[in-house]
Amino acid sequence: MKSNKFSLRVCFNRTSLLSLFIVAFVAGFLLAPPLSGDLSATHRIVINSSHSPPYSTPQRDGYFDLLLIEAFGRLGYLVQINNLPAMRSLADAANGVADGEIGRELGLDHEFHTLKPVPEPALERREFVAFSRNVKIETKDWSDLEPYHVAYVEGLQLFANNTKDARSVTALRSTDILFRFLDMDRCDIALSARLDGMTTLRKLGIKDVHVLEPPLEATPMYLYLHDNRKNLVMPLARILREMKEDGTIDFIKSQVVEKYIGI
φ, ψ of residue 161 in degrees (nearest 5): -70, -25
CATH of 125-218, one of 3.40.50.150, 3.40.190.10, 3.40.50.2300, 3.40.50.300: 3.40.190.10
Alpha carbon distance 132, 191 (integer Å): 9
Mean pLDDT of 55-73: 97
User: What residue spans define the domains of the chain?
Assistant: 17-123+221-260, 125-218
φ, ψ of residue 164 in degrees (nearest 5): -65, -25
Alpha carbon distance 121, 220 (integer Å): 6
pTM of the model: 0.75
Q: What percent of the chain has pLDDT over 70?
A: 84
Mean pLDDT of 141-147: 97
Alpha carbon distance 212, 236 (integer Å): 35
pLDDT at 42: 60
Q: Look at domain 17-123+221-260 and name its CATH class.
A: alpha beta
Do the domains spanning 17-123+221-260 and 125-218 agree at the CATH topology level? yes
Mean pLDDT of 167-179: 95
Instruction: Kindly report the average pLDDT of the chain as a whole number.
Output: 87
Omega into 235 within 30° of 0, i.e. cis? no
pLDDT at 222: 98
Q: How does residue 155 score in pLDDT terms, banded at 50, 70 and 90?
A: confident
pLDDT at 263: 64
Q: How far apart are the first and last CA of the chain?
A: 30
Mean pLDDT of 105-109: 93
